[in-house]
Structure formats: structure tokens, C-alpha cells
Structure 1
Amino acid sequence: MPKTPTPHNAALEGDFAPVVLMPGDPLRAKYIAETYLDDARQVTGVRGMLGFTGSYQGKPVSVMGHGMGMPSIGIYSYELYHNYGVETIIRVGSAGGYADDLELRDVVAAQGACTDSNYANQFGLPGTFAPIADFELLSAAVAAAKRQGVKIRVGNVLSSDVFYDGGANERAWKPMGVLATEMEAAALYMNAAAAGKRALCLLTISDIPSRGLGLPAEERQTSFNQMLEVALETALSC
């Protein structure tokens, strides 16, 4: 295993569990650890990107922030897969809704992640790569949501490098059946594929720009509990 700690992670070898939940916001990682994990301890905090390891229903689970955008999650997920022996990453994030039947706080499982990013260029592929979730993780999440009575939509999302796009992405991608937009899933799925590891992205709809709807920032940290509980039960299947 490559040397630890890394330039971006102060944890030592063995500090991370084989399965890691990753929200974008490091404070949400702290919230998850304090709310759901037993005996949670902080294992890293470089550049304020907090990471914790504890247990959930007796199973070792870690949680760590990944920041915003594909370059950021690209760095942290790469190091978790390659330096820390992590086998499974479940992104637990927010998304902007495109589909007409989505409402605030609805849960979306990203079966696939379209993207306008050039992230895949690094792999030198002679074509276009289709970033997809691990099927067993996706199936486990859908089953967990059903048991918990949580409505979950499964389908394509858009991982975009652009946040303030004036609605251009929705106009282009919504007619293709894309459910929602976020900024990280495609890079996570590519890193998992390249490393031979597993990944899933679960999302809570935090805003619907075309309808002028959105959750205040202070509500986002604590209003995603349904998604988090689905993710944690999915982690138990790993």
C-alpha cells in the first residue's frame, strides 16, 4: 500500500474503514459521525476536510468530506482507494432537480452520471466513457429505501463543472431524461472503475432552480437524514 499520510489526508494506514460515506461539506461529515456512528474519532482534518471513523450497528464505517467539484472528489477518492485500501465509497450529496416530478428533499440514486467535464481525458480512452454506479450497491440502496419507506428515483444525473449556468444545462439535458444535476458523481465513478473498486452516489434534492425552490444552507446539513439512513443501511451490505 502506498505511503500514508498523503499531502491531503493526515490519516494513517488502517484509520479508514473499507466503506466510506462522502458528503461534499466537511461539517456534514462531522454531523453524520456525531449523529450516526458509535465511538467516532477524527482521523484527518487537513485543509479543514474532516474525516471520521466509527461503527454503525457494529460495522466499521468512515465518513469524510470531499469538497466541491470533480477535481476535489477526484483527489480524495483516489487517495482513499489507492492509499488507504478503501473498497467502497458512497457519495451522499445534494442536487438540483430537473425532472418535473421531483420535489425538495426527494432522494435520487445516480445509476449513471453524464458529464460536461474533461475528467475522463486522463485515462486516454479511444472514445467516451459512461460512468455508472456499482450495480450491487445500487440494488442494495433501492432495497434499503423500500424497507424504510423512502421514495427513491433511479436514473441519470449530470455531473457538471459549471454551477451558475443560467439554466442552460437543464434545457439541454432534461429532454434526455436526466433527473438532476450535481458536480462530483462522474469523477467518483471513473476513479472507482479505474481502481477496480465500488461507488454509488445518493442525492437529496436541495433546490429546483426552474421553480425557484431551494433549501436554506442551514437546513441542508440536517434535512438529508432519509438519504443518510439509506446510505448507512447500504453500507451494512458491503
Structure 2
Amino acid sequence: MTIHIGAKPGEIAETVLMPGDPYRARWAAETFLENAKLVNDVRGMLGYTGIWNGHPVTIHGSGMGMPSLSIYANELIRDYGAKTLIRIGSCGGMQEKVQVRDVIIAMTASALSTPSSGIFKELNFAPCADWSLLRAAVNAAEAKGVPTHVGGIYSADVFYDERPDLNEQMTRHGILGVEMEAAELYNLAARYGVRALAVLTVSDHLLTGAALPSADRERSFGDMVEIALEAAFAE
């Protein structure tokens, strides 16, 4: 047990999928894992471990924002031995070619600041995905015929931001979408020498104002979870 995770030793798998929403973690575990068992509910942050195609998998919520994800990712890696961590979540599209329901696989994650900024100080460290996971995720998405975009994303440290000028520059420089967690996940993976990736479903669009109806979200998010699982165990 740790301060924020109540799982016993051996109850967390080496492969962890991390949605922000704990209820999405429950949905994904019940939908995609066999014999899913609740292993954490401290502070309402749900984590489940089960089996996918013969492989142990944990699906654990991260909460919203990089500080929250940093707590859970640190403890999952340091105290429970997680080796592969894949963020599965929603994002806002920032390019015209990106459509609602599309999947974005994040090669890099830019940010104004992260919880790791105090370590890097004056250095603008460039956090990026694990290549083996990224390649496998792209292959899985192509095999499924899911509209997919691969490139840079922006991890914002606020949800209700008032920086249209910054969003304009992100779009100008080819950033595909915005979310709130991946940059710190990639920082921690680099620090601890583990694998990390973010596979994201576009749920709304900053340029067009389009948004995914709530009734359609579950079906669309299912593609993202399947891509992440297949990538984690690709040979």
C-alpha cells in the first residue's frame, strides 16, 4: 500500500492503462478485462486488475491534470513495479484535419509547465512517447481502420484557459490536440526508464466547436482502449 493506492503487493500488473476518470476505469475494466477485480478505491480513485488475452492488466484512474497523474504514476512505477503505462483519455482537436471521434497517438507532449519543471529548471526537456508502443499503436489503429493522427499534442495545466494567443500558436505549429496529463507521464517514464504512451479520442474541437454526443462516447472510446491494449502486448 502507498499513500494514495491501497492495492496489496502483486495486485497491480506491470501494464497499466490510465484514464483520467475513475468511472471510465471501471467501465473499461468491466468491458475489456476478464475477472476484473477492484484493487484500489482510496479517495474514490478506482483501479482494477484483470486479464486481457492472457495478460495481466491494471486499469487505474489518474484524475484530472498533471499533478494528479504524477502522484499515481509515481507510485505505480516506484512502489508497484509498473513497466508500461498508457494514458487513455479524451482530448480537444486543434487541426482542421482532425475530426471528432478520431484517435490521436501522441508522439510528443508540449507543456507550459509540469510537476517536473522544478527538476529541469532552465532546461526545456522534450518528453516523448516510447517508440515501440507508438509503432504498435499505429499498427493496431490501421488494422482496425480507425481514423488516426500521429504527432505532437499540448498538455495544458488549466482547463478553463484564457490564452487564445497560445492556442493559435499551438495550431500554427501543428499540434493535433490538447489534454492535461500526457507531458508529465512522458517525463516520469523517461526518469524511471519505463514505457509510456498516450492514446486519445477526440471528444470536441477547439476550431469547429463540434463535440461528441454523450451517447456516442462509450463506443468511440472503445477503439482507443483496444488500440492501447494491443499496443501494450505487441510482439
Once the two structures are TM-superposed, the CA of residue 218 in structure 1 deviates from its matched residue by 5.6
Q: Which amino acid aligns with 2:143?
A: R
| Alignment partner of 2:4 out of 5, 8, 18 | 8
| Alignment partner of 1:231 out of 219, 225, 228 | 228
| Alignment partner of 1:47 out of 31, 43, 48 | 43
Count of aligned pairs: 234
Once the two structures are TM-superposed, the CA of residue 146 in structure 1 deviates from its matched residue by 1.4
| Alignment partner of 1:208 out of 190, 197, 205 | 205
The RMSD of aligned alpha carbons is 1.5
Q: Which amino acid aligns with 1:183?
A: M
Q: Which amino acid aligns with 1:233?
A: E
The 2-side partners of 1:172 and 1:149 are apart by 31
Q: Is the 8 A contact 1:28 1:221 kept in 2?
A: no
Pair 1:29 & 2:25 matched = yes
Partner of 2:88: 92
Equivalent residue runs for 1:96-115 within 5 Å = 96-115=92-111
The 2-side partners of 1:222 and 1:159 are apart by 25
Once the two structures are TM-superposed, the CA of residue 147 in structure 1 deviates from its matched residue by 1.4
The 2-side partners of 1:178 and 1:7 are apart by 36
Moved more, 178-187 or 207-216: 207-216
Map Cα deviations across residues 66-122 of structure 1 (whole Å, 9 max, x no partner): 000000000000100000000010000110000111111100000000001143323
Q: Which amino acid aligns with 1:103?
A: Q
The 2-side partners of 1:7 and 1:128 are apart by 31
Unaligned 5+ segments in structure 2 are none
The 1-side partners of 2:215 and 2:78 are apart by 34
Equivalent residue runs for 1:79-158 within 5 Å = 79-124=75-120, 127-158=123-154
The 1-side partners of 2:130 and 2:123 are apart by 21
Map Cα deviations across residues 205-230 of structure 1 (whole Å, 9 max, x no partner): 01013212112456434531111111
Q: Is the 8 A contact 1:89 1:200 kept in 2?
A: yes
Q: Which amino acid aligns with 1:107?
A: V
The 1-side partners of 2:221 and 2:114 are apart by 30
Once the two structures are TM-superposed, the CA of residue 155 in structure 1 deviates from its matched residue by 0.3
Q: Is the 8 A contact 2:114 2:157 kept in 1?
A: no
The TM-score normalised by the length of structure 2 is: 0.95
Identity %: 47
What secondary structure, in the 3-state scheme, does the structure 2 residue paired with 1:131 have?
coil
Map Cα deviations across residues 126-178 of structure 1 (whole Å, 9 max, x no partner): 52100000000000101111111122110000001121224343212110111
The 1-side partners of 2:113 and 2:218 are apart by 27
Q: Is the 8 A contact 1:120 1:129 kept in 2?
A: no
Moved more, 166-175 or 198-207: 166-175
Moved more, 13-22 or 205-214: 205-214
CA gap 1:117/1:221 in 2 versus in 1, 3 angstroms? farther
The TM-score normalised by the length of structure 1 is: 0.94
| Alignment partner of 2:174 out of 177, 180, 183 | 177
Q: Which amino acid aligns with 2:34?
A: D
